Amino acid sequence: MSPISRGFLGRRRSGGDPSRVPPGQHVTKGFPVLSAGPTQHTPLPDWSFRIDGAVKEPSSWRWEEFLALPAEQITVDIHCVTKWTKLDTSWRGVSLDTLLATIETDAEYLTAWCDGGYTTNLALADIVDGKAWVTYEYDGGPVHPEHGGPARLLVPHLYFWKSAKWVRGLTLTPTDEPGFWETYGYHNHGDPWLEQRYQGD
């Protein structure tokens, strides 16, 4: 049982429908920036997106090829482990179902890797069936570098550190291998509705 914080009133429901705000989160109108290092700036001619690892045949797309893939408009709520939730964010990008359509694999896990060396691990089951995208537009314009552009992974049903900024590829792995924050004590799965913030939650 949590003790009552003497004199604490709180500012409840200031930001929208409480049924859309996971436990311990509060709604922000802004779009805070959180990264472990400097913002990356990858020139588009040097950009590609690659799916490799435990696959029969790796796939890779250059920027123009990526833009030519069938894209979807996505409006979702996003939840950062640092406690902010942002409602109705709108993105445009390619579903991972589309990207994985021609990939043959027995692997059940993957590591998303990024410019700047960031990684995060995901179960394949968490990114298929319309649950994840590689996005290149936010709110009608390019994804700003601070927010992960040119392309950012979007896995909105998990805490936002799983939605890797500056993503460049997915490496499928037979076993689950913790990524960057996952090795620094953050939860391996990161479901905001179960408040899986840190190891053991």
Partner 1 sequence: MARAALPGRLSWQIGRVVDTIQETRRAKSLVLDLPNWPGHRAGQHIDIRLTADDGYQAQRGYSIASAPEDDGVMLTVDRLEDGEVSPYLTDVVEPGDEIELRGPIGGYFVWDPSLSGPLLLISGGSGIVPLRAMLRDWAAARPQVKVRLLHSARSLDDVIFRDEIMRFAAFDEVDVRIALTRAWPEGWRGHRGRIDRDFLERAAWPPQDAPRIYVCGPTGFVEAAAAALVETGQRPDTIKTERFGPTGG
Selected range binding partner 1 among 9-17, 119-127, 157-165, 167-175, rule: CB under 8 A: 9-17
The owner of tokens 């060396």 is 117
The residues in 157-186 that bind partner 1, with binding defined as CB under 8 A, are 180-181, 183-185
Contacts of 200 (CB under 8 A, 6+ apart): none
Secondary structure E strands in 58-187: 59-62, 72-79, 84-95, 109-114, 119-123, 133-138, 141-142, 152-154, 167-173
Q: Is 193 in the site for partner 1 (CB under 8 A)?
A: no
Contacts of 90 (CB under 8 A, 6+ apart): 73, 74, 75, 138, 139, 140
Report in angstroms how near the CB of residue 52 gets to partner 1 at its nearest: 23
- C-beta separation of 116 from 40 below 8 A: yes
Residue 62 or residue 178: which is nearer to partner 1 going by CB? 178
Residue 17 or residue 64: which is nearer to partner 1 going by CB? 17
Query: What's the CA gap between 81 and 23, in Å, rounded?
Result: 11
Q: Which of 20, 26, 62, 157 binds partner 1 (CB under 8 A)?
A: 26
- C-beta separation of 72 from 93 below 8 A: yes
Report in angstroms how near the CB of residue 108 gets to partner 1 at its nearest: 24
Count, residues in the chain: 201
92-121 footprint of partner 1 as x/- string (CB under 8 A): ------------------------xx----
41-80 footprint of partner 1 as x/- string (CB under 8 A): ----------------------------------------
Sites of contact with partner 1 (CB under 8 A) = 2-12, 14, 23-26, 28, 30, 32-40, 82-84, 116-117, 146, 180-181, 183-185, 197-201
